Structure 1
Amino acid sequence: MSSVGRDGEQGLGRLMAAVSTVRIPDKVRAVVQAEPGDPAPGQLWRARWGEIVELLLITEVDVSAVAMPVMLDDCVADARTLVLAADQTSLAVTLAVWMDLARHLPMYILDRQIGTVAVDVSRSGWESDAIAGGARYGSGPVSAADPRHEVRARLEDAMREFAEAKWAPSGSGDLARLMAAASLSPQRLIDAMGISPQRALALRRGQVAVDDAEARVLAPLLGITEEAVLEANASPPAALVVQLSRPRRRAQVMRLARKRGISEHSAWLAATYGVNAQAARQTGKSQDPGWEERIDRYFQVTLEN
């Protein structure tokens, strides 16, 4: 993933330019400015991954979310696109919904809630209810040069990129081998990192993961980047990854990235292994130690200090 500052702000700028010609209702502005929560059917979200930024309508939520792309410009809606009336959305403008481009998407591509629709999208055949309430379908392209073709192709590409997006570290588990190859003895780890003999021995044996602070020390000793050091840890617990994939956690990851001047992906790795290493030191257990509270504490410390 690219830098938060560049891609995220450029994407946001493109999105805000699209709504600059309409008056944003105060209640919508409050939703956009609020800390993101968990998504729910009927909500409109901004999705962002790298340089790709789109608006999505959420229709189902489980471990992942089922969503379809939407646009405020109904002039490019083709015959397979449903155009909601202005009074059917909290944005108070018509909304073009590409229903046939719905995909299962990971939660972590969701960036910020934008608004809601007034149609119960969790119901089967909800489009009929929407049409009864004033919605309509767009019209087919009139020629090969019709911009509807280009818009649909771009949205198809965006939804594919969203569906394939990944942030969770693979966790190669190669850290012990890398330290052995660099002749990093437990005593050298103690001297360089200021850690206890017990932790140095556990690190050297590959029994524990390093956190982001330790990775900064190890990186020059191993001749690799801090991100590569973190990726050489063992895979983090799945429950921790699930918790950090929620939109509210992504907002905290983005703040961490901006504070440290690093990429969003690097900030995600730092948070993952920072929380995991702290939990291991405090509990000595591999089962779920109560990730929610530990993640809260991690961000409280890293973002406020």
Structure 2
Amino acid sequence: MDGELTASGIDPASVVAAEDIGGGTYNRAVRLRLADGRRLVLKIAPSAPGLSYEHDLLATEAEYYRLASGPLPSVVGAGPGFLLMTEVPGEPWNRTPGAGPHLRAELGAIVARLHETTGDGFGYPQDPLHPTWPSAFTAMVDAILADAVRYRLRLPRPAAEIAHLVRRHEPLLELVTTPVLVHFDLWQGNILVDGDRVSGIIDAERAFWDDPVAEFVSLTLLHDLDAPLLEGYGTARFDAPGRRRLTLYRVYLGLIMLVEMVPRQDTNADRERFVSAWLAENLDAAQRAL
């Protein structure tokens, strides 16, 4: 930890308290309090292998915070395998009882602001970008399917069949022509609430340049699109092509959630059955949409 602090211009001797932050499933996070009163968070990447896209994720997270506008941490320092940033006030939404529906509208407005950040190519920032969204998305799906084969994971459908199903939707993906910076991990654990407001968005290491519709996979994880969120975002509803693309992105997230259990040595059989069933449901929905 001393090396990461020194590289960021922070004297390790100025740290008066350090506390590991639980709840994460990939990077290690440490909350730091400095003698001058500053509160920082240091994230350190694991050395264990993971999925194909899980490399240089903290560089992606740093880029997200530097580019996007919203209640985000500020980058203090970054380098190979680490990210030092300011701590954002608040508690994770999933640990905050009584958070009302009005916060969904506020969250929608925050996400709309985040989505004002656009780029010049599609895909993960840590990988070479693609000129089109269909080429980027099919490559991303191919990579996670290759991971499934490498880890000998049994999927609800054969990997080749899933890849073919996604490619049959390429005309639908061609409707997306502007790369938008999407967080893609906005479940309630990564949304902070402070009192009666949404105070922060954290853990952006899974971000990529893509269709803004993809953001709503984690925002509506395991439930349908809700009116307060959409009204805050600035759209009353999703059109039919948008909903069909949302199903494809749910397939992608379902694949990630299922395959990542292997390198993380997650042996929770109930979770595996649940995620597999959710993935199968979305694969069926994507098939019906053709």
Both proteins in one fold, TM over 0.5: no
Bigger RCO of structures 1 and 2 (CA < 8 A, at least 6 apart): 2
TM class, shorter-length:
under 0.3
TM-score for the superposition, normalised by structure 2? 0.23
